[in-house]
Amino acid sequence: MFGNPLNGTAKYPIHQVGEVANSVDPQPSHRTPPVEEDGVPYVSIKDCDYKTGKIDFEGARKVSPKVLEEHLNRYTLHEGDFVIGKIGTIGNPVFIPARDDYTLSANIVLVQPNRELVSPYFLKYSFESDFVERQFAEAKNSTSQAAFGIQKVRTVKVMNPDLDVQNKFENFVQQVDKLK
């Protein structure tokens, strides 16, 4: 439908993620807060099932509500936002709910598509493409520990067809998901 940038048949221009989405480091201190038994979920990539798109909020580490307060001051979650792993597990995008009762771990990057420029579904599925997977693999091979920082996420290259083409793709994906 879109061609393949890996073999030179891309039908649309290539852009960097930073041009069409905001990438947020939810835990810029990179320090994992201490566990608090009755706290709020601190969702990491291990709590996200890439295949089903489900998030295990109950099984997630619990942290102080103060951590949630700090997070809410840094970012707001929107419908269509997704997370990807940035340490160890790189990639594996999962849509997250637009709620304000959980926090995001230091091992993920929050990707917030600009809906005026890109369809969230198109961008999320772009992160599952062989084209983006190859960019992740190249980054993994260039360092001793598999890591893909926030700046690298912003420079990931993705195709960027006209928004109406992306919206058709989104409608198609949503119909397929309903059938599943």
Residues 106-114 have a mean pLDDT of: 95
Domain that holds residue 136: 5-179
Task: Report the DSSP pairing between strands 103-104 and 40-43.
Answer: parallel
Does the structure show a pLDDT above 70 at 146?
no
Contacts of 30 (CB under 8 A, 6+ apart): 106
Please, which pLDDT band fits residue 136 given cuts at 50, 70 and 90?
A: confident
Structure confidence at residue 116 (pLDDT):
94
Residue 132 to residue 68: CA distance in whole angstroms: 31
The sheet with strand 40-43 has its strands ordered as 61-63, 40-43, 103-104
Domain of 163, CATH number, reads 3.90.220.20
Structure confidence at residue 137 (pLDDT):
85
For the four alpha carbons of 44, 45, 47 and 48, in that order, the dihedral sign comes to positive
Question: Using an 8 Å Cβ cutoff, are 62 and 39 in contact?
Answer: yes
Does the structure show a pLDDT above 80 at 141?
no
Q: pLDDT tens across 55-97, in order?
A: 999 999 999 999 999 999 999 999 999 999 998 888 899 999 9
What's the structural domain count of the chain? 1
